[in-house]
Amino acid sequence: MPRSNRPKRKKGDEVPELNLDVIRAGIKKTEFKNGVEYVVQTTTGSRADDDKVWKCPHCNQNIAKGTAHTVAWDAHRDVSTRRHFHNPCWKSFQGKLL
Ligand SMILES: [Zn+2]
């Protein structure tokens, strides 16, 4: 009986191809701050349909359009808790999202 014709493993098979859509959309991950789990996503802020200005809740300054920044929301609440932070502000943010 012939052995099953498994395709040969090529070098690099384990590495998934880069998904440009994911990179463009930002990479989503989770982070804990003060025991609260947040979904964190980076964004370039340059999407054509993002025609608005966000106010960073950490420093109360606006995030200019086209500025790479961090979007975070409470993983156990809904996305209405989503806030836009400057990247360094998110790093130092330790409070809870309202
Ligand atoms: Zn800020």
> How many angstroms does the Cα of residue 39 sit away from the middle of ligand 1?
18
Q: Please give the distance, rounded to the nearest whole angstrom, from the Cα atom of residue 48 to the centre of ligand 1.
A: 22
Model pLDDT for residues 9-47, shown as the tens digit of each residue: 666 666 666 665 655 566 789 999 989 999 999 988 776
Cβ atoms within 10 Å, residue 42: 17
Torsional class of 38: left (φ above 0), alpha (ψ -120 to 50), beta (otherwise): beta
Q: What is the pLDDT of residues 48-83, one digit of tens each?
A: 555 678 999 999 999 988 889 999 999 999 888 999
CB-based burial label for 64 (10 Å; 0-12, 13-18, 19+): exposed
Instruction: Report CA(68)–ligand 1 centroid distance (Å).
Output: 12
pTM equals: 0.69
Q: Residues 40, 30: contact at Cβ < 8 Å?
A: yes
Q: Exposed, middle or buried: residue 70 (CB in 10 Å: 0-12, 13-18, 19+)?
A: buried
For ligand 1, a single-atom ion, the residues with CB < 5 A are 56, 58-59, 86, 89
